[in-house]
Structure 1
Amino acid sequence: MINRVSFKIVIWIIFLISFCNNIIGQNKNETSMQLSARQQRIIQISAYTAKGDLENAKLVLNNGLDDGLTINEIKELLVHLYAYCGFPRSIRGLQTFMEVLDERRSKGIIDNIGIEASPIDETESKYERGKAILEKLTGKPQSELKNGYAEFAPIIEIFLKEHLFADIFERDVLTFAERELITISVLASIGGVEPMLRSHFQICLVQGFTPHQLNEFLQIISSVIGNNEIQAAEEVLNDLLSNYKK
């Protein structure tokens, strides 16, 4: 009788140890990713939309809403990415999102609309506002001296300041950090724009992302983009981080 009781006690001890180890393992997995679920969905939605993979975009759009992204935040995300992969991809993303919302409403799911963009203070010119935002993003003053493509085609530099960094980045539905996460997701997905990807990885570091989080970004996006694109993105980030000083 005593042996039988002892045997049951041993079994229970083994069970409890296994159970506790399992819980600890789950907690480690949940906390090992430093990018939040929200940030992970931003990456996935941006990348699938930029690639034109609308079936998977539909899936992660649903996941994004389930994980707390608002309707207006996702709309803003899909609008933002047109600056980096064009109107057609952006509009197809918006059309796909409309389908997702219709399907969810038909199931009785009511999603959070979220905030609208705040009114813009237009005291200064768009160019000066865009320049100021770019300085906040990069953490560096913007030189008045034009060179490279800005000297070759000055109008593109004006468009960048007035439209991208004023019209788009001024809208506070998303933070600067979230907009940069969208940007690197698109640039890594389309490929062939490594100098721009490097610049925006650098901005991500200025905006508070850690090297570990940027490596997580590559891990997440690797399931979306091609081998050539992920290899190029890894090389860009590794080269940047090899010279990075916090």
Structure 2
Amino acid sequence: MTHESAASETLSARQQAIVPIAAFAATGDIDRLSAALDEGLDAGLTVSDTREILVQIYAYAGFPRSLNALGALMKVLESRKGRGLQDAAGQAPSRAIPKGDALLAAGTANQTRLAGGPVRGPVFDFAPAIDEYIKTHVFGDIFERDNLDWQSRELATVAVLSALPGVESQLQAHMRISMNIGISAIQLDQLGQALADRVDVEAARRAHDALERQLASA
């Protein structure tokens, strides 16, 4: 699977399904998450897709939210199996994740490619450990996994950060990253509309404001 695909004018049904799944997982709304998972599997998400989305969100919303969301997915899959539905398994990661210095190098390269240039800042000088953790773990361990494309990962990340108040700077960074890897402004506007329609108007407002700032800066 390639890291990115050509931007189109609309989000696919599969891509739209990622938005409420990630948002409800981040806020811990298990009942609405379960419904969104059911709808997402109907829309073409594989078991691997949904599981990977819920694993990744721990980097942005914490392990407890991720673990609870994965438990909800297990229950949804069991329920669907009981109804006679056979969900596509999807693919597992096809390459080994590097270790040690090679992981730091891979994560740094991924972060630079996603961000459009090297990522630096006073907070990373003040706390070098967090810089290394982000490079090796978030952009290394997670973004090196090729069973979910980078655009899907960024749609999930933007949805998570839109759903969480108080993380506007991180949302802004990932709005920029999303556009760097070929997600169009039209598609990001549709992400915001999906948040408004299916999640929460405040989450939609945060996404809209971040998109407007990104477009203005560009």
Normalised to the residue count of structure 1, the TM-score between the two structures is 0.80
By how many angstroms is 1:222 displaced? 1.7
Do 1:47 and 1:224's aligned partners in 2 also have CA atoms closer than 8 Å? Answer: no
- Seen in structure 2, the aligned counterparts of structure 1 residues 189 and 139 have a Cα distance that, compared at 3 Å, is same
Q: Which residue of 2 is the match for residue 117 of structure 1?
A: 93
Instruction: Give the residue type in structure 2 aligned to 1:115.
Output: Q
Q: Which residue of 1 is the match for residue 58 of structure 2?
A: 82
By how many angstroms is 1:126 displaced? 1.1
Write the distance in 2 (CA, Å) between the matches of 1:224 and 1:109: 24
Q: Which residue of 2 is the match for residue 10 of structure 1?
A: none
By how many angstroms is 1:230 displaced? 3.1
Higher deviation after alignment, 190-199 or 119-128: 119-128
Instruction: Return the index of the structure with the highest Cα Rg.
Output: 1
Do 2:80 and 2:86's aligned partners in 1 also have CA atoms closer than 8 Å? Answer: yes
By how many angstroms is 1:166 displaced? 0.5
Q: Which residue of 2 is the match for residue 166 of structure 1?
A: 140
Correspondence list, 1:173-192, <5 A: 173-192=147-166
Structure 1 gaps, min length 5: 1-32
Do 1:189 and 1:229's aligned partners in 2 also have CA atoms closer than 8 Å? Answer: yes
- Seen in structure 2, the aligned counterparts of structure 1 residues 67 and 54 have a Cα distance that, compared at 3 Å, is same
Higher deviation after alignment, 131-140 or 229-238: 229-238
RMSD over aligned Cα atoms = 1.7
The structure, 1 or 2, with the larger RCO (C-alpha pairs under 8 Å, 6+ apart) is 2
Instruction: Give the residue type in structure 1 aligned to 2:90.
Output: G
Secondary structure at 2:145's aligned position in 1?
coil
Q: Which residue of 1 is the match for residue 3 of structure 2?
A: none
Instruction: Give the residue type in structure 2 aligned to 1:101.
Output: L
Q: Which residue of 1 is the match for residue 205 of structure 2?
A: 231
Write the distance in 2 (CA, Å) between the matches of 1:121 and 1:80: 15
Higher deviation after alignment, 216-225 or 35-44: 216-225
Cα deviation, 1:174-215, whole Å, max 9, x if unaligned, reads: 111111111100000012111111111011111111111111
By how many angstroms is 1:108 displaced? 1.5
Normalised to the residue count of structure 2, the TM-score between the two structures is 0.90
Q: Which residue of 2 is the match for residue 135 of structure 1?
A: 112
Write the distance in 2 (CA, Å) between the matches of 1:233 and 1:70: 26
By how many angstroms is 1:155 displaced? 0.3
Write the distance in 2 (CA, Å) between the matches of 1:138 and 1:155: 20
Do 2:20 and 2:199's aligned partners in 1 also have CA atoms closer than 8 Å? Answer: no
Write the distance in 2 (CA, Å) between the matches of 1:131 and 1:215: 29
Structure 2 gaps, min length 5: 1-8
Do 2:19 and 2:159's aligned partners in 1 also have CA atoms closer than 8 Å? Answer: yes
By how many angstroms is 1:236 displaced? 2.0
